[in-house]
Structure 1
Amino acid sequence: MNEKEYYNLIKPYEDAMQMILSRLDTLNHTLYESSATHLVPIHNIQSRIKSKKSIEDKLIKKEKKPSLTNAKNFLMDIAGARVICYFVNDIYNLVEILKSQTDLIVMKERDYIAGPKPNGYRSYHIILGIPVYCLDGMEYFPVEIQFRTMSMDFWASMEHRINYKKERQDREKLVKELKEHARKLEKIEKSFEKYSENIQNTVE
């Protein structure tokens, strides 16, 4: 895949990304618009388009030729966003609204909040098909969105920093400790949820 092919590949993914980011921004300001406290569900949003090298490396890992066609056919995370919310309920509210919008297609989803990974990882992953219009028609392009609370993101970031591409002698012990940290963070998160519920009840 040359540079021109890469640019042509990612252009519609960039368009799809901009569309879903705009949608999320609107939801962030309107989801709780009836609340006198002006609460918003989203703390921040990070987004990225995979680099040429990252796309090629992932295709090679999948034992596919690193071509433009294979990238389009076999990769669903060329465009990705990470949405950091305040509370778990915010995540589920946003997901349900996005799933109810008729111009979006749910291509894949995994709820690692209700069912965490064995190492303690928690997040909600959903891949949405976003309609991208051009002169000769419309085509859906996937955008992978990971929804996390701040505590989930903190844990995932630290786990990635500690484990990324490293062989460790103490892996079994480390996995056990990280899982325990995940439990502690979840407990803290639920404690803060009580304060949020109290605010809502006071407003009502």
Structure 2
Amino acid sequence: MSMEQMHMVKDFKQQITRFMMMYKFALQELETKIEILKEEFQLLHEYNPIEHTSSRLKSPKSIIEKLVRKQCEFNFTSIRNEIKDIAGLRINCSFISDIYRISDMLQNQSDLKLLSVKDYIKNPKPNGYQSLHLLIEVPVFISDRRENVCVEVQIRTIAMDFWASLEHKIYYKYKHAIPPHLLNELKEAADSAAALDKKMERLHNEIAEIKDEHENDLGEEMIRLLMGNQNGSIPQLLQELTKDVMRK
């Protein structure tokens, strides 16, 4: 290898490292936002709508293979414009309502830009796949500039995620040619998962109603105690409530 070729290889390596670095930073930015939202929700509502998050970056090999399949030009501009799922964030929730709640939270972030929404919950894929897909543009600030980086966010319930994981494994085991009887069983499993999600959502709502009634009773009792307080202990009560919040 000539000196010129060595410089070219080194330069390309630096370019692809810098390119991938931006997607890594975008994921970190989004994950930080999710953690803040989780803690805020836990403190204010004593409930966490997010069960689990995971992230991934496509490998350079996978990116090149997708470029070839899409018959795109081999350059960084083409990659940025044509491949929108280089960075992916998956958020698992307990209930369907939580999915849309998290989606609204992200869309209310003023520095994030929603590029597209694909709702496979209201409109499942023919094979039964369900999930909410958001394409979000995340600003990344580095030493010499700001870049807007695209991240694909998938939000789904635990049941949806379990089914999707199973389908993915079968899909690759049979090299994309799944036997018809397995396709039928997968669709039935997807329908069962959807029915389970709806049942759990109903139970969740009923429990929430009972909890709200109980909290209303406690709230009324606290008001009576405060109104009847003659010992000047309200500041002490507020101090105890603050300590309780900080412990959480």
Q: Same fold (TM over 0.5)?
A: yes
Root mean square deviation, CA, Å? 1.9
The equivalent residue for 2:120 is 112
CA distance in 1, matches of 2:151, 2:169: 25
- Secondary structure of 1:162 counterpart: helix
More strand as a share of residues? 1
Identity of matched residues, %: 36
The one-letter amino acid of 1:24's match is I
1:172 CA drift (Å): 2.7
The equivalent residue for 2:51 is 43
- Secondary structure of 1:102 counterpart: coil
Question: Which of 82, 86, 97 is residue 105 of structure 2 equivalent to?
Answer: 97
Larger RCO: 1 or 2 (CA < 8 Å, sep 6+): 1
1:168 CA drift (Å): 7.5
- Secondary structure of 1:94 counterpart: helix
* 1:21-100 matches, cutoff 5 A: 21-31=31-41, 33-35=43-45, 38-100=46-108
The one-letter amino acid of 1:160's match is H
1:167 CA drift (Å): 5.0
The answer for unaligned runs of 5 or more in structure 2 is 1-8, 213-248
Q: How many residues align?
A: 202
CA distance in 2, matches of 1:170, 1:122: 19
Please say if 1:5 is aligned against 2:15. Answer: yes
* 1:150-165 matches, cutoff 5 A: 150-164=158-172
The equivalent residue for 1:124 is 132
More helix as a share of residues? 2
The equivalent residue for 2:230 is none
- Secondary structure of 2:44 counterpart: coil
CA distance in 2, matches of 1:59, 1:89: 36
- Secondary structure of 1:200 counterpart: helix
TM-score where L is the length of structure 1: 0.91
Give the number of the structure whose alpha-carbon radius of gyration is greater. 2
Retained in 1: the 8 A contact 2:170–2:178?
no
CA distance in 2, matches of 1:168, 1:53: 20
1:8-52 deviation digits (Å, cap 9, x = unpaired):
1111111111111111111122235433xx221111111011111
TM-score where L is the length of structure 2: 0.75
The equivalent residue for 1:18 is 28
The answer for unaligned runs of 5 or more in structure 1 is none
Retained in 2: the 8 A contact 1:48–1:79?
yes
